[in-house]
């Protein structure tokens, strides 16, 4: 079986009518799996619902523990894009026998033109095929955990060294 850990980020943000804020209150990943007619057996667990700008070292430790502690060998982690590479660098040196793919979105699923559905589909293929290791799957590309950063200006992920 394949595990999907939810940690929050732009992907799951939704509009709160009372004050017009974008908030994290639940995950939409099950809805996305349904839209993709997913017949793959997946276990979904919300670890936290945080904007990744506000993630602290303690949060990344919890994510690491969860990855180490679960029986599944294939793990997708939804994560805010701003510090996704940072979390990958916490998991990378420690997890050796599992395939972990971090994925997120630049535009929340609740928006018409969101990249969330495309990205989650992409990550679910990647995690099933890639050999053990920690990866980031964004912009229809796969990045190794130790050679990736988010370009703050373009909003796109890129290799640090080619």
> Residue 22 in 3-state DSSP?
strand
Of the candidate spans 56-64, 66-74, 83-91, 154-162, the one that interacts with a copy of itself by CB under 8 A turns out to be 154-162
Does 162 participate in binding a copy of itself (rule CB under 8 A)?
no
Please, which residue, 122 or 145, has the CB nearer to a copy of itself?
A: 122
Handedness of CA 138, 140, 145, 148 (dihedral sign): negative
Number of C-alpha atoms within 13 angstroms, CB side, residue 102?
A: 33
Handedness of CA 95, 100, 104, 110 (dihedral sign): negative
Does 102 participate in binding a copy of itself (rule CB under 8 A)?
no
Does 37 participate in binding a copy of itself (rule CB under 8 A)?
yes
Please, which residue, 34 or 69, has the CB nearer to a copy of itself?
A: 34
What is the rounded CA–CA span in Å between residue 9 and residue 135? Answer: 17
What is the rounded CA–CA span in Å between residue 48 and residue 40? Answer: 24
Number of residues binding to a copy of itself, judged by CB under 8 A: 49
Q: Max CA-CA distance within the chain?
A: 47
Does 25 participate in binding a copy of itself (rule CB under 8 A)?
no
Under the rule (CB under 8 A), what is the footprint of a copy of itself? 10, 13, 15, 17-18, 20, 22, 32-33, 35-40, 51, 106-108, 110-115, 117-126, 128-130, 137-142, 152, 155-158
């Amino acid at each position: 079986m394949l595990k999907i850990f939810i940690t929050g980020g732009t992907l799951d943000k939704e509009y709160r009518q009372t004050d017009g804020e974008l908030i994290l209150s639940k995950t939409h990943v099950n809805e996305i799996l349904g839209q993709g007619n997913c017949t793959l057996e997946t276990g979904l667990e919300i670890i936290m619902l945080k904007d990744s700008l506000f993630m602290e070292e303690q949060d990344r430790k919890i994510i690491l523990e969860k990855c180490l502690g679960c029986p599944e060998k294939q793990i997708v982690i939804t994560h805010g894009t701003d510090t996704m590479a940072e979390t990958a660098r916490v998991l990378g040196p420690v997890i050796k026998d599992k395939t972990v793919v971090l994925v997120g979105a630049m535009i929340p699923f609740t928006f018409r033109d969101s990249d969330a559905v495309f990205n989650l589909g992409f990550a679910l293929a990647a995690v099933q095929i890639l050999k053990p290791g920690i990866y980031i799957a964004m912009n229809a590309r796969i990045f190794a955990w130790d050679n990736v950063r988010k370009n703050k200006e373009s909003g796109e992920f890129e290799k640090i060294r080619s």
